[in-house]
Amino acid sequence: MRSMSSLIHKLKATYPDISFTEGEQFLWSPSERIIYYTTGQANSTHLLLHELSHALLGHREYQRDIELVAMETAAWDEAKKYADTYKVRLNEAIIQDHLDTYREWLHARSTCPQCSASGYQTEASHYQCPACSHEWKVNEARICALRRYSLAK
């Protein structure tokens, strides 16, 4: 398996239009065209290829929460394509663990706080329940605790 520093060196040479900067977490910033990475995290090479894939796929923003899950899935699928090229052995269980965090995030956001049925997203941060018609708003909650707020009718 390729070391993280060797992989970063190779990626910088291959993709000079993308900056690679050490940061506190793995993150693709489309506005800055920077991939932030950390070397102190388990499976760093997996995560670096994943963020590279977001960049190469042109991922920017999403309107619906399900779009984020689709973008994450697409980025992992794309990372698998680059694994052999960069001699990174991707572990499918690790990929699915990461995708599970997004699936769980989406499930938590879409669960009706009134009756626990699965709701549907009506706009950026709003959901509605098809079972009881309850409406609620959610915070972003990708890196903090999920909050759901009932909307007055």
Residues 6+ apart with CB under 8 A from 82: 49, 52, 53, 88
pLDDT, position 5: 93
Which pLDDT score is estimated for 44?
95
DSSP labels for 113-148? TTT--B-EEEETTEEE-TTT--EEEE---SSS---E
Sign of the torsion formed by the C-alpha atoms of 41, 44, 46 and 48: positive
Q: What domains can you pick out in the chain, each with its CATH number?
A: 4-110 (1.10.10)
pLDDT averaged per 10 residues in sequence order, the chain, 153 residues:
85 98 94 94 94 97 94 97 94 95 93 97 95 92 60 65
Please state the pTM of the whole predicted model: 0.88
pLDDT given for residue 139 in this prediction: 82
Burial class (CB in 10 A: 0-12, 13-18, 19+), 98: middle
pLDDT number for residue 40: 80
Task: Please say whether the beta carbons of 102 and 69 come within 8 A.
Answer: yes
What does the pLDDT read at residue 1? 43
